[in-house]
Structure 1
Amino acid sequence: MSCILTEAADDQAADARERIEVLRFSTDDLPADDRYRAWYMRDWPRAQPIYRTKPIEPFDTRWVSAQLGPVTFARVEITAMRWERRLADVRNSDFDPVVISLMKSGEAQGDFDGRPFHETPGTFHFHDLGRASLHVSTASLTYNLVLPRALADQWFGPLGDLHGLVVPTDQAKLVFALAEQVSDLLPTLEAEQAERLGRMFLEALAVALAAVRPKQSPPPSARAMLRRRAEDRIEERLTTGELTVEHLCDALGATRARLLAAFSADGGVRAYILIRRLERSRHALTDLERNEPVGAVAHRLGFSDAAHLSRAFRDRYGMTPRQYRDLLRADREMSPPGGE
């Protein structure tokens, strides 16, 4: 008898657990002439209309939605429609979430702020309500996730490349499977599960997005930026004598330690400058028509004299500047006319 009473108490406790609140909207019971206006003027998810819409066929719709932590989940059946959000609408609205729309059945295409857009069954796309868009959809069944901008930026930022991005079928399967399960179980799900379910959607979206999003190069480090500035300065002053570590530190506003660290892979700043001067010298020697004297090349590129250039050139290239130039001449004389 006590076991029966315990089981009955457990059943009552389970029944008493708070369920996720499910909101429903349908035009099924409304007169046909009243359906579109009733849907357009309803106060979900905002009191003011979000889009400029125009039905393409007799209007009908059914919506089921729930809040999963900060993520809004909705199952939407709706007839063919034209959807537009202009820049003026964006400026006049404080509602700018990112919407992920999963196309279970139907099709949509249009232009998302200059990006061509085409969504087919089994795919989903990202829609940034902080940007303009225009698209046309057939009668459709979609699952929709509405993410506050701060949450979307935290998980998927930067958001600039997401507006109108369509995730193909293979990469979208996991998100669809979760959406269908949540949709089926929504009336029975407990409120304490909402946060976890919302996070599951975010995790699944992150997996899908990582598979299709172009890889973004990380921003350059402070050391890389200093090196790039130093390289530009070196190129500008390579033919002058005023090119020392001290000069670069003063010009770039950098400490000696930071500058040396930026060129550590090259053996230091002086080693890098020498390599660049030798490469410029080699390029000058290839101009056989000009035939600039080796001493002149040395003077122009910051070497103390022709002997200094010859020693450094031989150390790097295994021959003197004159030997290198003689080799180029011999190669040219041996090449038949036309280069064949």
Structure 2
Amino acid sequence: MDFQPAVKSRASPKSRVPMTRFATCGMPAADQFQAWSDFLQPVVNLGLTERSPGGFDAEFTAWDLGSMVFCDIATPCEAPSRNWQHAANPSGDHWYLILHNSGPSTNVKGRQETRSLNFRSLARRSAGVTDSTNTVALLIPRDLYTATSALLDSVCETIPDVGPGAMLADYLLMVRRHLNELDQIDVPALAAATKAMVSFCLAPSMDRAAIAQGAISITCFERARQIIRRDLLLPELDADHLCRAMGISRSRLYRLFDAVGGVSNYIRRQRLLAARDALSDLADLRPIGVIAFSVGFADASGFSRAYHREFGCSPSDTRMERLAGRAIALPVRPLPRTDGSSQFEDLLRQLRA
């Protein structure tokens, strides 16, 4: 194959977290999987379990956190399973956490993702089969945990998705959601919090829990936010619902939401924001009372009063302004930003504690 894949690098005027990005899109379909396999060869050897009639449109993004590397991997959902095994001579003897999301499934509590979390060392022989389409991974140098390396070596490869394991998986997903919003100045604090979180979740102790308390609280709050977003339209969404879903006490839940005015106020505001989005949507022709009911308000007049207190105008004002073509100041999600960085193998070799 004479095609030479390259890592694309782009610079931002702001000091964003250094990033490496590699994608197979744009390559000839017949060359895509081989290019993907070549790129990951410093860590793992890949092979398809069966011949694929199509290409392999995949993307890899890595953020350099100085003392560790955070990776996001997206592979095509229609692709066959892949055989994998650790490279015979890996670039370093790093550990890595890898979280596989195999796609959404539905249960009685709503849509959730089937996920699995594993902790492995590149220095050890390991192999398996994967069909995951969405993966995040954290590459961790052994020197980062010199005092507890023997303890971490004894950790079971498969981390149960309960208790500390579930918390660690939630933390990795939370970091991924916010990485593109961070500046370079945030990296040392993020790396320190991640180090503490990994240490506590893989080898729990009172001392490690105290060190990781900040990261634990942030993770719990983010998990609560995701549950609120998922269950926002359920009439039974309240503090008790969150406590049951998260398996925590009411007092701990209340402490998590102290800084944002309490659990009930936060849920009410999210419902009002959802109502404002609907009222500002020209394609949504539902009556205001129906929209109010759909976001959890049983009383139309109570909804109108709460809406006016929150936004300084009535629901009908919002709809009229949108119909008149005047812009409404809606919450804006920051656009992803990318920075130039080094090749993937260089990142592995440069990992430092």
Task: Classify the TM-score, shorter chain.
Answer: 0.3 to 0.5
TM-score under structure 1 length normalisation: 0.46
TM-score under structure 2 length normalisation: 0.45
User: Which structure dedicates a bigger proportion of its chain to helix?
Assistant: 1
Q: Which has the higher contact order (CA 8 A, sep 6+)?
A: 2
